[in-house]
């Protein structure tokens, strides 16, 4: 059955398809992320303008449809990945170091790398049913720097709390020691009661300071656990009350 190329219905369908293609191309061009399509052979078959901006490569270079390994070699030679790939997330260094001429299933789904200028790029790769890969590049500098600042603030807080607990424990230990000597001296009943109350409150405060120090160590990842044998049954036994 022949199809009339001048059929109004067919022309309308072609025009609609062309409009959809132009719409998709426009959307890809204005995306905030860089979008790249890699063929089964590792060749760059498609890219948008944001890839050039984020990865600092020219459109002329990508338009020649180079292998992804050629792009990696160019970036590596100019130091984009840092000495010994130090700017690449540790989990992805082996993959980047062994970037070959073909695309395989060893590609990390997502990893982050830093640039020489100090910005951060999040790279995501997902397979297509055809066997090609869609790779996106996102500038996540704001997020990563905010995370680093939060981590630094947490570290500073932990160090401050540890220092504070140490500084408070020193005079408190002296107070408890002198109070113990006082309890051993000749005191009347009221004085003995007062000194015992001071000792009880001081011991409680020391316990609180020790807990604060333990929390600080836990947040800093420096909490050390002591392994001790114990009887489980007595710990689980119900109180008679």
For the chain, domain boundaries? 31-139, 146-220
Topology given in CATH for the domain delimited by 31-139: Beta-Lactamase (3.30.450)
Question: In the predicted model, is pLDDT for residue 214 greater than 80?
Answer: no
**How does pLDDT run across 143-191, given as a tens digit for each residue?**
999 998 888 887 787 778 777 777 888 888 888 999 899 888 888 889 9
pLDDT of 22: 66
**Fold for the domain defined by 146-220:** Helix Hairpins (1.10.287)
Range with the poorest average pLDDT among 12-16, 49-53, 137-141, 201-205 = 12-16
Q: Please provide the DSSP assignment of the chain as one string.
A: ----TT-HHHHHHHHHHHHHHHHHHHHHHT-SSEEEEE-TTSBEEEE-HHHHHHHT--HHHHHT--BHHHHHHHHHHTTTT-GGGTTB-GGGHHHHHT--SS--TTS-SEEEEE-TTS-EEEEEEEE-TTS-EEEEEEE-HHHHHHHHHHHHHHHHHHHHHHHHHHHHHHHHHHHHHHHHHHHTS---HHHHHHHHHHHHHHHHHHHHHHHHHHHHHHHTT---PPP----HHHHHSPP--
């Amino acid at each position: 059955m022949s199809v009339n190329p001048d059929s109004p219905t067919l022309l309308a369908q072609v025009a609609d398809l062309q409009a959809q293609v132009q719409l998709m191309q426009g959307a890809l061009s204005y995306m905030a992320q860089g979008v790249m399509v890699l063929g089964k052979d590792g060749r760059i078959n498609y890219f948008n303008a944001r890839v050039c901006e984020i990865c600092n490569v020219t459109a002329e270079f990508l338009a020649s449809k180079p292998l992804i390994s050629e792009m990696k070699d160019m970036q590596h030679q100019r130091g984009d990945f840092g000495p010994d790939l130090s700017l690449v997330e540790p989990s992805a260094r082996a993959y980047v170091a062994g970037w070959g001429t073909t695309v395989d299933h060893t590609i990390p789904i997502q990893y982050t790398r830093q640039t020489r200028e100090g910005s951060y790029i999040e790279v995501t790769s997902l397979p297509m049913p055809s066997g090609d890969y869609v790779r996106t590049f996102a500038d996540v500098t704001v997020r990563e720097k905010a995370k680093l600042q939060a981590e630094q603030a947490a570290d500073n807080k932990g160090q401050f709390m540890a220092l504070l607990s140490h500084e408070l424990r020193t005079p408190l230990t002296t107070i408890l020691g002198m109070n113990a000597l006082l309890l051993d001296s000749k005191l009347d009943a009221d004085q003995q009661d007062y000194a015992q109350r001071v000792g009880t409150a001081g011991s409680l405060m020391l316990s609180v300071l020790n807990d604060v120090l333990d929390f600080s160590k836990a947040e800093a990842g420096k909490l050390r656990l002591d392994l001790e044998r114990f009887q489980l049954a007595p710990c689980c036994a119900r109180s008679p009350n």
